[in-house]
Structure 1
Amino acid sequence: MERLDVLRLFMEHHVFAVWDFMSLLKVLQQRLCCVEVPWVVPVDSQACRFINEIVLAEESDHDGRGGFASHFELYYRSMKQCGANTAGIDGFLSDLRGGVPVLKALASPAVPKAARRFVEQTFRIIETGDLCTVASAFTFGREDLLPDVFQCIVDELNTRAGGQLDDFKYYLDRHIGLDGDEHGPMATRLLQSLCAADDALWETAEQAAVDCLLARQELWNGIYDAISREATIAGSLKPRE
């Protein structure tokens, strides 16, 4: 990802994964914490604490400007700064606010196909209603995977000049710091607590992790294919085998 136009196209796809991450997190919060009235004591206070700590940072982190914002908003802001096209995610969120179901909103031609397939997989996991499945997807498909990937991007960005990527670098720094040092270990401990010594639950969690990693691989491949099709980089990349 050595060119700004390539990074823009990547972000136009990946922003949907940043968005649907919060839906996985909110399922865990709904299931492990009390978010209804009247309030009742959560069954597992430690799990409740883990999830609420993650929600606090992911939904209202420091924005680098003296205020607070979700990590999605930080990502969106970085897209705007570097000139990425936000029409796809804008239309999708507008549909959701208007009451359009997620899968129908995803069907918009403005939503990249690879991003659509990825979010559909996420919501298939959510619709299972299985707590260990969702927790595994959250841990191994998101929290445990992303820090290493993002660190590579940050290292490359550090060699670049220009202020167009300042907001993206801030987003990555926050995401890496929290996921690698705090949220990843928290999510792992949560999954260990949920599955305990139950082999059947661990098998369910393992299958969910495999499904999520395959979906992530398909997203990366889809983004690569989209980049390869762009006329602006014709000849600079070989088709994926």
Structure 2
Amino acid sequence: MALQVDNLTVQYGRNIIIDSMSFGPLKEGSVVGLLGPNAAGKSTLVKTLAGIKKPASGSCTITLRGARVSDTERPDVIGYVPQDLLAGASLTAFESIVIAARRSGGTTHNPVEATARVMSRLGITALADRMIANMSGGQRQLVAIAQMLVREPSVLILDEPTSALDLRHQVEVLQLVREEVEDSDKLAIIAIHDLNLAARFCDEVLVMKHGKKVVHDTPRNVFTPEVLERVYGIRAKVIEDEGVPVVCPV
């Protein structure tokens, strides 16, 4: 399985948000971090990769078991967690995840059992009977991740999935995504702001600015003082912790 982007341009009206971007192939077994400053175009890019936003030109091609995934097949292949979560849903957490499981094109045979398993993995079993409308932002985020995982997609696309979570839950969610990718030969693309979490959990990082790709490489090759100043306008030291770069703003 692989994902390839070629000369992708995305617009809102006359405003170009993604400008002739190419990268890939991103391959199964990888966690790819999507980084950049505010207004870099990260959310627009993940919506386009997920098939929610249509490009003005260019293409995003997914191949699975040697065959190109069609537009009608994409909803079964891609799992997407948006940045803006619905707060007014009149469902309990358990109900919303069961519905997602029933819509799955994957191998889920018993939606109720699958829902119970994924809620247990995320540590949110206690939220089963809680109405989504009455949850905190972090709790809704965990439910949205459960809705994605229960569908068993081949490509996991997450837009700021840890933005409303405390540090412990950020680490647990990213570790769970890593395990999902490694255990099942999937691909994960995560838009994220925290450079050090990206360095710790991502195999590759793609850095954007003003709708263009700046660099796409391993965290060790990307997180350098020169790149950080160019992209974020900050001075920083980069040290290593067991081979993982750690960014320390000066």
Asked if Structure 1 and Structure 2 have the same fold, meaning a TM-score greater than 0.5 normalized by the shorter chain, the answer is no
The structure whose residues are more often strand, as a share, is 2
The structure whose residues are more often helix, as a share, is 1
Q: TM-score, normalised by structure 2?
A: 0.28
Q: TM-score, normalised by structure 1?
A: 0.29
